[in-house]
Amino acid sequence: MKHPFSRFHLILVLLALPFGVNAQLAYNPIIFADVPDMSIVRVGGTYYMSSTTMHLSPGVPIMKSEDLVNWRLVNYAYDTLGNVDALNLDNGQSAYGRGSWASSLRYHNGIFYVTTFAQTTGKTYIFSTKNIEKGPWKTVSFAPSMHDHSLFFDDDGKVYMVYGAGRLSLVELKEDVSGIKPGGIHQVLIENASLPSGNNGGLGAEGSQLFKIGGKYYLFNITWPRGGMRTVVIHRAAKITGPYEGKVGLQDIGVAQGGLIDLPNGQWYAYLFRDFGAVGRIPYLVPVSWRDGWPILGIKGTVPDALHLPANKSLIPGIVASDEFNPQKGGQTLALPWQWNHNPNNSLWSLTQRKGYLRLTTGRVDTSFLWARNTLTQRTIGPVCTGEVLLDASNMKDGDFAGLGLLQQNYGLAGVAAIGSTKAIVMVNASTGQPQEVQRLPLNQNTVYFKAACDFTDKKDVADFFYSLDGKHWMHLGTPLKMAYTIPQFMGYRFALFNYASKTAGGWVDFDYFHIAGNISEVK
């Protein structure tokens, strides 16, 4: 006999089911922030990911996840890549858009390997450690700089790198990965890896990531056919040396460049990124099935919005974080998401000279914000975010400019300018590519609050700046910043704490805090 309320209960269950299920789904993008050129490995039930941060220091961030969806920064592969003018922002040279590019992350015989390359130094770098979260790292480097390479440990103990753009090559390394093996394999692997996508003169296939699955070799690349979109190209072979056959792996909304990762339950995903305007290149996950020995990416060839993975949590504080500049154990410990714009001069910043504050001291005269050394940065996040600081400008010198910026080629700044014995609140807008002072207000006190609010929704890419004299009443400052992702810098906009001198070095400012929020707070 059926329960008299069984149909009613069934209706309730059916009505509730979509909401309950959706609450447990993950959604693309997995990280709505600039985390390009990902490389991911799984060790047991834990995932680790490396990414590109180019000219920033420290570099090659390492992120950790237990579910492939929610990530947090745990380390960097290096503090500084090299001591050269371009990386130090010295003598009119910079490493904007260069520095270290796409990394390769591997785990082999109990050791983690993170490799990268740099046109700036002309070298390939291999960082290795038994403890990827704490280090220490062993570093080796050698010439040449192998473009967008993939480190690969084969079953027979041999070690290789696949590298190049368009024309891809294979080179054998020494077993201790200390350099290229003399007399080892060094050959062209695929003459034109872009061919499966049409080969009509666009971006040559690059971003190599090589995997061995079921006894076969699978090589992932990104290409960009002229007039088309970023595309995943996959090649496979029975031998690492080839011959390789290729096909288009995915061509949808420009999601491309990455590789494969398996879950402990046997499911497969492709990790890829998408160019998304001013916020940068943002990571996506795409489900993978297998057919006739090929990985099939997406749902009927499309990138899904929802994924049957644990729900996304906030990117705060895992990927970006607020900082009170008050380390629990003292010392020079900044929140992990901070990176310096180029190599810092560590003698000119401090968390100890005034407890609870970040002090930035000028050490030279600079011509503009983009050339200011010791600018401290971290990512913006989408779809919207707000960064806020409290600045003490008591010890600025004539010609100094300090405050909160949004860093890219077309930057925006809200800060305090010191003019003789007076000070002013100033907004600089470089939306056009040329900096313009759009507002200046007299400042009759030494402390001032600044806020930058970014809107990346549907690639709106607009930011507004605000100031407050008491932290309660906020006023718009200047004009809206139209943000643009430019190739010279090749990264998403970043919040930036800056202080530079235009006349005399030696002045300093103190930042009381930096707060980041995943919303645009109401401004009165």
- Say what the pLDDT of residue 388 is: 98
Domain formed by 339-517, architecture? Sandwich (2.60)
Domain ranges of the chain: 23-307, 339-517
Note the pLDDT of residue 227.
86
Looking at domain 23-307, what is its CATH homologous superfamily?
Answer: Glycosyl hydrolase domain; family 43 (2.115.10.20)
d(Cα 290, Cα 399) in Å, to the nearest integer?
A: 63
Q: What is the pLDDT of residue 393?
A: 98
pLDDT attached to residue 411: 98
For each of the chain's 524 residues, which pLDDT tens digit applies?
333 333 333 333 333 333 334 558 999 999 999 999 999 999 999 999 999 999 999 999 999 999 999 999 999 999 999 999 999 999 999 999 999 999 999 999 999 999 999 999 999 999 999 999 999 999 999 999 999 999 999 999 999 999 999 999 999 999 999 999 999 999 999 999 999 998 677 889 999 999 999 999 999 999 999 888 999 999 999 999 999 999 999 999 999 999 999 999 999 999 999 999 999 999 999 999 999 999 999 999 999 999 999 999 999 999 999 999 998 776 779 999 999 999 999 999 999 999 999 999 999 999 999 999 999 999 999 999 999 999 999 999 999 999 999 999 999 999 999 999 999 999 999 999 999 999 999 999 999 999 999 999 999 999 999 999 999 999 999 999 999 999 999 999 999 999 999 999 999 999 999 999 999 975 54
Q: How far is CA 66 from the centre of its chain?
A: 20
Find out whether 103 and 51 touch, Cβ atoms under 8 Å.
yes
What is the pLDDT at residue 174? 98
| Burial class (CB within 10 angstroms; exposed 0-12, middle 13-18, buried 19+) of 284 | buried
Q: Is the dihedral of CA 217, 218, 223, 227 positive or negative?
A: positive
CA distance 203 to 79: 32
Residues 290 and 296: beta-carbon distance below 8 Å: yes
pLDDT value, residue 330: 63
Q: Do domains 23-307 and 339-517 have the same CATH topology?
A: no
pLDDT computed for residue 11 by the predictor: 32
pTM metric for this prediction: 0.94
Q: How far apart are CA 406 and CA 164, in angstroms?
A: 33
Q: Which two tokens stand for residue 30?
A: 């997995």
CA distance to 232, 326, 336, 358, 364, per residue, from 351 (Å)? 45, 7, 14, 5, 20
Q: How do beta strands 159-165 and 150-153 pair?
A: antiparallel
Widest Cα–Cα separation across the chain: 92
Strand order in the sheet with 231-237: 203-213, 216-224, 231-237, 245-250
Q: Cα dihedral sign for 277, 281, 287, 293?
A: positive
**237 — alpha (psi -120 to 50), left (phi > 0) or beta?**
beta
Q: Are 406 and 481 in contact (CB under 8 A)?
A: yes
